[in-house]
Amino acid sequence: MIRLNLTATPEWLDLAPGLRLLVSPLTTALMVSARADPAIETLPEDASQEALALAMAKSVARSAVLDWEGVGDAMGTIVPISPEGIDALLEIWPVFEAFQTQYVAKGLILGAEKNVSAPSPTGPSAGATGIAPPAKPPALTAPQD
């Protein structure tokens, strides 16, 4: 079952101790926008899946992240949110993994779930497997006098 979030309100994601991001809901428009990002479109055709995943996560984050807490520079000074800062944050492996798992994967899981019914290319039971034993041969016709 797909659970709809009809409130469409931003929510906080706790990605690491002391680090959290305020993100907008993961919508179709946000994913389409991320896919159209020049950083994705200019990747070479032979780019690895890892490179594509990182570029996509950064693109999604630049669109989705509205605020953050617990992000500072080398001196510990709080850093305002920026596209460059978001990219740098996602270069940190545990942060990238947490963002992928808690935010991006939610949208991908829905896509993978699709329909829980058996496939039916030519009818309602075409994709189902038989579980009943074979039927006995038909009985002889009754004699007629």
In the chain, domain spans = 11-113
Q: Which residues are within 8 A (CB) of 40 and not within 5 positions of it... i.e. 6 or more apart?
A: 34, 52, 55, 56, 59
Average pLDDT over residues 107-128: 52
Q: What is the pLDDT of residues 10-34, one digit of tens each?
A: 999 999 999 999 999 998 889 888 8
| Cα 77-78-81 angle, rounded to 5 deg | 140
User: Could you give the CA distance from residue 55 to residue 57 in angstroms, rounded to a whole number?
Assistant: 6
Contact 10, 23 (CB under 8 A): yes
d(CA 70, CA 18): 5
Q: Which residues pair with 69 in a beta bridge?
A: 20
pTM to 2 decimal places: 0.68
